[in-house]
Amino acid sequence: MGFIRLVARIMGRISTFRSYQFVLLLAAALAVVAFYYFGSERQNFSSTTKRIKQTHATHNGNRNDADLTVDTRLSHPAGLEEQREEVGDVGESEGSRKRESGDSGDQRYHALMMFTKVDKSRSLQDKFRVAMLSMVKYGDFAEGEILVLHFVSDQASKELGERMLQEFLLDATFKYEVFFHDVSALTKKLFPIVEAMQKHFSAGSGAYYSDAIFFLSVAMHHIMPESLTRIVQLDLDLKYKTNIRDLFQEFDQFPPGAVIGITREMQPVYRHTFWQYRKENPQTRVGDPPPDGLPGFNSGVMLLDLGAMRDSALYNQLLEPSNVAKLADQYRFRGHLGDQDFFTMIGMEHPELFYPLACGWNRQLCTWWRDHGYGDVFQMYYRCNGLVYIYHGNCNSPIPDD
């Protein structure tokens, strides 16, 4: 009511003022109205906005502290300082320089992925997202255990990878550490070791310097420090359906003499590649399907026992150029899949070097050869009974949804 009386008094005096004075009085009246009528509501709106901003900032701060700094902090692995010198330039994501005391006794599980030219490929980025999110979803490590992720990368891909991992690893319930290894530094170290074998297992006609990185697994025991004795190498186009920690337990199943755990190839690719040898040796098992044949290997998931690789006189003899050439000539072999071809070829002669992983650890989905001349035998290679632990979307094959 006080407000109405105020307006009435103002209106009663309007006639004594000229028109411009009327305008001034009216403006003043409206200002008074706004102050009294809207004042409390304006204050409530500002307070609410402020609280939302404060809550959002606090939430983000807690999320970063909990997920990146405490539970899943990024840090230099204890005992790998030597490795940083051995493998060249090794970078780490922001925040990875901090360590907590008492970590020296932690058990580390090492996994390596090739991460080159990812910045130029949306397809590789999408595959990396699927791989990392599924790894995080099922990953479960005990107290005192750390998953160490190694990425072999160029600089542009490294910068992208660091940003992507900040998102993908947010929900990890386990401790992890991340290292980016410079692809140029690794290639420089690898080339003298694998140069001679490249002409037998590369897509090109010669031993291209850049191709050397595709033979990293073959000579990793020479590249990594002796303190690192076990590592798994994984393709980017994977989707995990189980705890990746379980994969590392397969090392304990290696028989004496085995140096590498690997799954068989699930297409008749080596039935095709060994065609001349098979023609000259019609009774051979080389290239035949399982369970009695030798279908070759797929390198999408590999367990590398670096200690056993260093200790195996046989394996290291097979790396010598003369022995590589001898086997390639014996089997009339000319491949294009890098390390996978090398392992397949020496596996034909020395299967005792390999521990055969169950097909469910690398359930390959590519069906290319079914439609390119091998439809009649394809299913004998492709079938995989039992549980699937890791899907492999090779040759851009779609991976089933959860």
Q: In terms of pLDDT, which residue wins out, 84 or 336?
A: 336
* H/E stretch holding 63: helix 19-64
pLDDT at 45 over 60: no
Domain ranges of the chain: 2-9+18-70, 81-94+104-396
Confidence band of 34 (pLDDT split at 50, 70, 90) = very low
When pLDDT is averaged across residues 59-83 and rounded to a whole number, the result is 33
- What lies within 8 Å, CB to CB, of 334 at 6+ separation is 200, 273, 328
% of the chain with per-residue pLDDT over 70 = 72
Would you state the pLDDT for residue 204? 64
**48-62, 223-237, 278-292: range with lowest mean pLDDT:** 48-62
Contact 94, 169 (CB under 8 A): no
What DSSP string describes 295-336? --EEEEEEEEEHHHHHH-HHHHHHTSHHHHHHHHHHTT---S
When pLDDT is averaged across residues 122-144 and rounded to a whole number, the result is 98
Would you state the pLDDT for residue 16? 45
pLDDT at 20 over 50: no
Q: In terms of pLDDT, which residue wins out, 259 or 85?
A: 259
Give the tens place of pLDDT for each residue, 264-277: 999 999 999 999 99
pLDDT at 85 over 80: no
Would you state the pLDDT for residue 334? 87
Confidence band of 104 (pLDDT split at 50, 70, 90) = low
- Strand ranges (DSSP E) for 225-371? 230-234, 238-240, 260-264, 297-305, 354-356, 363-364
Query: What does the block give as tokens for 221?
Result: 């025991």
pLDDT at 7 over 60: no
pLDDT at 163 over 80: yes
Contact 362, 392 (CB under 8 A): yes
Homologous superfamily of 81-94+104-396: Spore Coat Polysaccharide Biosynthesis Protein SpsA; Chain A (3.90.550.10)
Would you state the pLDDT for residue 105? 84
Confidence band of 340 (pLDDT split at 50, 70, 90) = very high
Would you state the pLDDT for residue 9? 52
pLDDT at 51 over 80: no
pLDDT at 82 over 60: no
**76-90, 95-109, 215-229, 331-345: range with lowest mean pLDDT:** 76-90
Q: Beta strand pairing status for 107-115 and 175-182?
A: unpaired
Residue at 246: amino acid letter: D
Confidence band of 202 (pLDDT split at 50, 70, 90) = confident
**52-56, 82-86, 158-162, 194-198: range with lowest mean pLDDT:** 52-56
Q: Is 249 exposed, middle or buried (0-12, 13-18, 19+ CB in 10 A)?
A: exposed
Would you state the pLDDT for residue 199? 85
Mean residue pLDDT of the chain comes to 81
% of the chain with per-residue pLDDT over 90 = 68
Instruction: Check whether the bond before 291 is cis (ω within 30° of 0).
Output: yes
Give the tens place of pLDDT for each residue, 299-327: 999 999 999 999 999 999 999 999 999 99
